[in-house]
Amino acid sequence: MIKKELLTARMRGYALTGYGREVAELTDSEKFKVLSKALMEELLPKWRESLVKFDGHKKAYYLSAEFLMGRALSNNLLNLEVQGEVKSILKELGIDYNALEEAEDDAGLGNGGLGRLAACFLDSAATLNYSLTGYGIRYNYGIFRQTFVDGRQVEEGDDWLRDGDTWSIRRADQRVKVVFKDQTVYAVPYDTPIVGFGGGTINTLRLWQSEALQPFDFQAFNDQKYDRAVKEKNDAENISKVLYPNDSLEKGKILRLKQQYFFVSASLQDMIRKHKENHKDFKDFAKLHAVQLNDTHPAVAIPELIRLLGEEGVSFKKAFALATETFAYTNHTILKEALEQWSVKLYKKILPEVYKVIVKIDNHLRKELVQKGLSTEEIEEFEIIHSGNIRMAWLSIYGTHSINGVARLHTDILKDTELHGWYELYPQRFNNKTNGITQRRWLLESNPELSAFITKLLGSDDWITDLEELKKLKKYAEDDEIIKEFMAIKKTKKRQLADYLKVREGIAVDENAIFDIQIKRLHEYKRQLLNAFHILYLYHKIKENPQMEITPRVFLFGAKAAPGYVRAKAIIRFINAIGKMVNEDADVRGRLKVVFVENYGVSYAQRLFPAADISEQISTAGKEASGTGNMKFMLSGAPTIGTFDGANVEIVEEAGLSNNYIFGLTVEEIEELKGHYNPAKELKKNPALKKVVDSLIDGTFEEVVSPEFQELHDALLLGASWHAPDNYFIIRDFQAYVEAQERVAQDFTKPLEFYRKGFINMASAGKFSSDRTIEEYAREIWKIESIDTPRKARRIV
């Protein structure tokens, strides 16, 4: 319960001391800050109590280069179950809560599914009363703020910390030194509370900021060498400056390597310091600490822990055993060639002491493989140090006790093909943990209308902490009146999104059209280009027959391309070129509309997912490890149009093939097709598609063909030095995709039946809660226990 008098007094105090004005005189951004500071006062005692209750128990730690948290205000208030009270208090003060919510910046700490998964896991662990600490980097700038200029992506600095971060606490008293060969810096922790639903557990996200030992050289300044006076400060701060700095040059690679080692070393030093406060030796270290490596970015943790334990007098043999018992590795990448590697030269240059430990680990592996009877040639396949590179995935497999994939299909591919040799060596280490999402943010917060509807039908809000409760809704699937209520909610969310797009993007869309949405990181294998080709195909059909009947559609895209990913940026420009042509043509007005939203992020996603009629999950089969956007769409009541890839397979198992739109080549069919596939030959069979592909180079969009569009065209028909033509089978899958989209359009003309599919998808989404995933990690990998009874559900009378 929040006391009105106390909250308002705290807000007034922060307004006066921070801005010299009364609350009513502040801007929305300033009001948000004084409110969040006031709420932090409410949180702090509970946070401290929560941390204390886990003393003496085994704890888990999540090492991740990304934590894509989203806005904290509504999430914290909902999880504390006081949002209604706070809204009421603010209303009495004449403050618009929604304006304060919009004033909060998304924390610039991630880019895609990897970081959002980490955020969901932290939420679920706190809700289920497990001790899980997140460790990462406090980036001063996110990956970038995206704008479009003439259809091209332009990157600007995402200065999300320009006015500070009211949800974090600087803990300078717990800073540590991180030592590189050419540089030593302080890692200063900033702690953010992670509030579990019901407020019974508040865990910590600890993010490290890099700072100089000597931020200012007075003597250099006095000698009028001004740049040198602040060089150490600038060099130190660069380490935590930007998420995923461009590494096309060696200095960029060095910065990335320093980032990885920086947060890993700081985090392990932090764990060791806390361990030494209560234990005189390290024999029980693995019994008290479970560390999950979120992909290979933190893989250097394995040799670093061994190095740090060596400094404490632990032998290499014992330290290696402790490391393997402590660490577990989540693989997010299917293909061997995409797995992270670092050059030996770079490691020797920046981390020579760590490299020495990696050599010892590699030698240890070789001895073990000799004992297993492997030949010299066979051992080469498993070498951690190979051809002048350090294979970080190999290090992660050998130096941990658990390797998990993130969807059943993904794990099977790892075991059967991509990591088959390792699986044969250590079959007991491999396991699957299908990803999940937190229903607190992606349903309760994002879609209060649907949340209230679910609670009404179920008669309680148990689903907030037990998403499997949604299965009970399936009995209503044939009730047309219930489906009509569901349709009305979807219409409301579409209207809300349409209003937002009008303000944010300056584009009007028809809320009665199909909202066909593809929002995810821009990458070739995710096949945004296939979606774009289909839009252009529909456009050509209308131009050829202006009187044709067509189900109106709004195609919505949201994605960022990595700054150095030229081909991905060309795809963005191509989609925007199609959008300009379609949106300005009177012949297609009211039938087709294309919107590529700028600067897609978590907060934008919370508006897009609930409004979707159809979920685009069209990656090439065998390329997407899992996906979590597919789960958010499903929970929002949208059928999937997609391939049998990643978690799509399990989504279809839960909701039924007839309630989704599956098309395209399977993993097995692609394997059979390799070496026999000729996209140019395929194109000759399909003149409509050829016309679409030719538009890249025939002057449709520009008189002088740009090199980027030419390169896109050539990649499809000629390939490149590093891949075969049409490496992601866009041309081969196009017709099947068109036919699946035609089924969508036809079904949409029968609203009750179409939205019944969406309702069944929503009612079948229980498996895909991150609560289930975290329970599996906790029970099967981390071996940690939940402390306290989960919050009781409220019965609705």
- DSSP lists the bridge partners of residue 640 as 615
- Which one of 384, 399, 432 terminates a domain? 432
Q: Residue 721: inside a domain, yes or no?
A: no
- Picking from 384, 411, 409, 405, the residue whose alpha carbon sits closest to that of residue 396 is 384
Give the pLDDT of residue 789. 57
Least confident window among 247-256, 300-309, 765-774: 247-256
Same domain, 274 and 137: yes
- Picking from 335, 334, 325, the residue whose alpha carbon sits closest to that of residue 405 is 334
Q: Residue 27: inside a domain, yes or no?
A: no
Based on the number of CB atoms within 10 Å of its own CB, is 206 exposed (0-12), middle (13-18) or buried (19 or more)?
buried
Average pLDDT over residues 313-334: 96
- The token pair at 99 is 């304006």
Contact present, 229 and 216 (Cβ < 8 Å): yes
- The token pair at 768 is 């895909």
Give the pLDDT of residue 616. 98
CB atoms within 10 A of CB 371: 8
Same domain, 510 and 409: no
Contact present, 451 and 197 (Cβ < 8 Å): no
Residue at 7: amino acid letter = L
Angle in degrees, CA 608, 457, 491, rounded to 5: 30
Strand order of the sheet with strand 614-617? Answer: 592-596, 553-558, 514-519, 614-617, 640-642, 661-662
Give the pLDDT of residue 245. 87
- The token pair at 176 is 């540590």
State the pLDDT confidence band at 796, using cuts at 50, 70 and 90. very low
The mean pLDDT value of the chain amounts to: 96
Instruction: Using a pLDDT cut of 90, give the percent of the chain over it.
Output: 94
Residue 668 C-alpha from the chain's centroid: 28
Tell me which residue range forms the domain holding 127: 54-70+106-208+247-432
State the pLDDT confidence band at 797, using cuts at 50, 70 and 90. very low
Same domain, 413 and 450: no
* Backbone angles phi and psi of 195, in degrees to 5: -90, 120
The CA distance from 435 to 769, in Å, is 8
Same domain, 401 and 333: yes
Same domain, 572 and 644: yes
pLDDT tens for 492-516 read 999 999 999 999 999 999 999 999 9
- DSSP lists the bridge partners of residue 207 as 136, 190
Average pLDDT over residues 646-659: 97
Instruction: Find where tokens 């994939």 sit.
Output: 405
Instruction: List, as one string, the DSSP characters of 489-540.
Output: HHHHHHHHHHHHHHHHT-----TTSEEEEEES---GGGTHHHHHHHHHHHHH
Q: Residue 712: inside a domain, yes or no?
A: no
pLDDT tens for 16-58 read 999 999 999 999 999 999 999 999 999 999 999 999 999 999 9
Active site residues: 332, 520-521, 526, 628, 632
Contact present, 778 and 433 (Cβ < 8 Å): no
Q: Collapse the DSSP code of 795 into the 3-class scheme (helix H, G, I; strand E, B; otherwise coil) and give the result.
A: strand
Which one-letter DSSP state was computed for residue 195? E
Same domain, 152 and 279: yes
Q: Residue 454: inside a domain, yes or no?
A: yes
Give the pLDDT of residue 143. 86
Instruction: List, as one string, the DSSP characters of 28-93.
Output: HHHHHHHHHHHHHHHHHHHHHHHHHHTTTS-EEEEE-S-------HHHHHHHTT-HHHHHHHHHHT
Same domain, 479 and 566: yes
Same domain, 313 and 417: yes
Q: Residue 797: inside a domain, yes or no?
A: no
* Backbone angles phi and psi of 169, in degrees to 5: -120, 125
User: From the CA atom positions of the chain, what is the Rg in Å?
Assistant: 27
Q: Collapse the DSSP code of 666 into the 3-class scheme (helix H, G, I; strand E, B; otherwise coil) and give the result.
A: coil
CB atoms within 10 A of CB 116: 27
Instruction: Using a pLDDT cut of 70, give the percent of the chain over it.
Output: 99
Give the pLDDT of residue 788. 81
- Picking from 444, 328, 404, the residue whose alpha carbon sits closest to that of residue 625 is 404
Angle in degrees, CA 510, 516, 522, rounded to 5: 125
Contact present, 239 and 210 (Cβ < 8 Å): yes
Same domain, 495 and 605: yes
- The token pair at 213 is 């030992």
Q: Is the pLDDT of residue 574 over 90?
A: yes
The CA distance from 630 to 639, in Å, is 9
Task: Kindly report the pTM of this predicted structure.
Answer: 0.96
pLDDT tens for 135-194 read 999 999 988 999 999 999 999 999 999 989 999 999 999 999 999 999 999 999 999 999
Cα 738 to Cα 134, 396, 534, 564: the distances in Å are 43, 41, 7, 32
Q: Residue 93: inside a domain, yes or no?
A: no
Q: Is the pLDDT of residue 337 over 80?
A: no
Residue at 495: amino acid letter = R
Q: Is the pLDDT of residue 99 over 60?
A: yes
Q: Collapse the DSSP code of 179 into the 3-class scheme (helix H, G, I; strand E, B; otherwise coil) and give the result.
A: strand
Q: What is the dihedral of CA 236, 240, 244, 245, to 10 degrees?
A: -30
What are the CB-based long-range contacts (under 8 Å, 24+) for 156-162? 157/242, 158/108, 160/105, 160/106, 160/107, 160/108, 161/108
Same domain, 502 and 632: yes
- Which one of 432, 458, 485 terminates a domain? 432
pLDDT tens for 427-476 read 999 999 999 999 999 999 999 999 999 999 999 999 999 999 999 999 99
Same domain, 604 and 660: yes
Give the pLDDT of residue 142. 87
- Picking from 401, 466, 607, the residue whose alpha carbon sits closest to that of residue 128 is 466
Q: Is the pLDDT of residue 336 over 80?
A: no
- Which one of 432, 457, 477 terminates a domain? 432
Residue 769 C-alpha from the chain's centroid: 15
Contact present, 138 and 206 (Cβ < 8 Å): no
Average pLDDT over residues 406-412: 96
Q: Is the pLDDT of residue 691 over 50?
A: yes
Q: What is the Cβ-side half-sphere exposure of residue 321, based on CA atoms within 13 angstroms?
A: 9
Sign of the CA dihedral with 74 first, then 79, 83, and 86 last? negative
Contact present, 795 and 460 (Cβ < 8 Å): yes
Based on the number of CB atoms within 10 Å of its own CB, is 364 exposed (0-12), middle (13-18) or buried (19 or more)?
middle
Cα 576 to Cα 21, 336, 509, 583, 613: the distances in Å are 45, 33, 16, 10, 22
Q: Collapse the DSSP code of 601 into the 3-class scheme (helix H, G, I; strand E, B; otherwise coil) and give the result.
A: coil
Give the pLDDT of residue 675. 86
| Total number of domains in the chain | 2
Angle in degrees, CA 377, 381, 384, rounded to 5: 120
Q: Residue 770: inside a domain, yes or no?
A: no
Q: Residue 494's domain is classified under what CATH number?
A: 3.40.50.2000
Cα 10 to Cα 17, 31, 414, 471: the distances in Å are 11, 12, 54, 44
Q: What is the Cβ-side half-sphere exposure of residue 474, based on CA atoms within 13 angstroms?
A: 15
- Picking from 630, 674, 639, 635, the residue whose alpha carbon sits closest to that of residue 657 is 639
Same domain, 489 and 424: no
pLDDT tens for 343-400 read 999 999 999 999 999 999 999 999 999 999 999 999 999 999 999 999 999 999 999 9
Q: Residue 11: inside a domain, yes or no?
A: no
Q: Is the pLDDT of residue 704 over 90?
A: no
